């Protein structure tokens, strides 16, 4: 079986303590750190940008997985790559030229990810499979943590069939918890983003619950 990676989303962390939060979740077993960038335009919420990613970089030993919920994307790719993002994921809905965007992300030296909102069908990435390292399927409408999981089992399965033997991750983002994680893993996902389900009950001063929560997923 495929190894499942857990990518806690710092959207659910203490915003006044991001560096320590990243160190705490890695010490507690996180595989990747998921960084949700929102612009108040593509999604109805604002978080942070490349300067925050650059500040976080020294506090993350592993993969910094940057999820861009912004439009346009292309003018900011170089800044996020320079900030040390290992994976940069752009939404197919964020503009008319996702093919160009994925090429630009790879050219900037990062792994190229493409994200699909719940309402966007799997075949939207059919002509992108050789340009992408990761496909992020949203199982909530993006913008906020703590929303209810939307079942996308059929979409995951059809995507896994389309990918075939290409080395492409399927990442699931939104509402992942101990109940929903087995469903998406069984359907073929291998990177699970989880915000509220990882950070609940813990803090930088009491990080043990982060580890319990990660192991429960
Ligand atoms: C939603 C973000 C997600 C979110 C996940 O717009 O892209 O990464 O933080 O949070 P939970 O796990 O709480 O649904
Ligand atoms: Zn995300």
Q: Report the pLDDT value the prediction gives residue 1, as an integer from 0 to 100.
A: 46
Nearest CA to ligand 1 atom 4: 145
Q: What is the mean pLDDT of the chain?
A: 98
Classify 38 in phi/psi space as left (phi over 0), alpha (psi -120 to 50) or beta: beta
Indicate whether 114 pLDDT > 70: yes
ipTM summary value:
0.98
Measured from the Cβ of residue 134, the count of other Cβ atoms closer than 10 Å reads: 20
Give the mean pLDDT of 18-25: 98
Indicate whether 133 pLDDT > 90: yes
Listed in sequence order, the residues at least 6 apart from 133 whose beta carbon sits closer than 8 Å to its beta carbon are 87, 111, 112, 113, 167, 168, 169
Categorize the per-residue pLDDT at 130 as very low, low, confident or very high, splitting at 50, 70 and 90: very high
Residues with CB under 6 A from ligand 1: 9, 11-12, 34, 36, 67, 140, 142-143, 145-147, 173-176, 193-197
Domain with 187 in it: 5-216
User: Taking the chain, what is the end-to-end CA distance rounded to the nearest angstrom?
Assistant: 16
Q: Report the pLDDT value the prediction gives residue 6, as an integer from 0 to 100.
A: 98
Indicate whether 2 pLDDT > 80: no
Indicate whether 164 pLDDT > 50: yes
Categorize the per-residue pLDDT at 212 as very low, low, confident or very high, splitting at 50, 70 and 90: very high
CATH number of domain containing 200: 3.20.20.70
Indicate whether 159 pLDDT > 80: yes
Residue 73: what are its φ and ψ, rounded to 5°? -100, -45
What is the pTM (predicted TM-score) of this model?
0.98
Is 89 within 8 Å of 65 (Cβ atoms)?
Answer: yes
Candidate of 149, 193, 214, 216 to mutate for ligand 1, largest count of ligand atoms within 8 Å of Cβ:
193
Is 95 within 8 Å of 71 (Cβ atoms)?
Answer: yes
The count of domains in the chain is: 1
Classify 45 in phi/psi space as left (phi over 0), alpha (psi -120 to 50) or beta: beta
Active-site annotation holder among 31, 86, 133, 173:
173
Indicate whether 126 pLDDT > 90: yes
Q: Which ligand lies nearest the alpha carbon of 139?
A: 1
Is 173 a residue of the active site?
yes
């Amino acid at each position: 079986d495929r190894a499942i990676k857990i990518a806690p989303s710092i959207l659910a962390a203490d915003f006044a303590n991001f560096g320590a939060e990243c160190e705490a979740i890695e010490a507690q077993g996180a595989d990747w750190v998921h960084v949700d960038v929102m612009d108040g335009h593509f999604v109805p919420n604002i978080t942070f940008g490349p300067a925050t990613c650059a500040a976080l970089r020294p506090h993350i030993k592993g993969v910094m997985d940057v999820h861009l919920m912004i439009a346009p994307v292309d003018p900011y790719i170089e800044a996020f790559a320079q900030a040390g993002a290992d994976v940069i994921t752009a939404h197919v809905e964020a503009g008319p030229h996702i093919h160009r965007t994925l090429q630009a992300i790879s050219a900037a030296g990062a792994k190229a990810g493409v994200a699909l909102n719940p309402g966007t069908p799997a075949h939207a990435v059919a002509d992108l499979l050789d340009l992408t390292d990761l496909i992020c399927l949203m199982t909530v409408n993006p913008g906020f943590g703590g929303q209810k999981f939307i079942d996308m089992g059929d979409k995951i399965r059809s995507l896994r069939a389309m990918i075939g033997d290409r080395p492409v991750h399927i990442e699931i983002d939104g509402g992942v918890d101990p109940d929903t994680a087995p469903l998406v893993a069984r359907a073929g996902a291998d990177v699970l983003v989880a915000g509220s389900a990882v950070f609940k009950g813990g803090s930088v001063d009491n990080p043990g619950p982060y580890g319990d929560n990660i192991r429960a997923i």
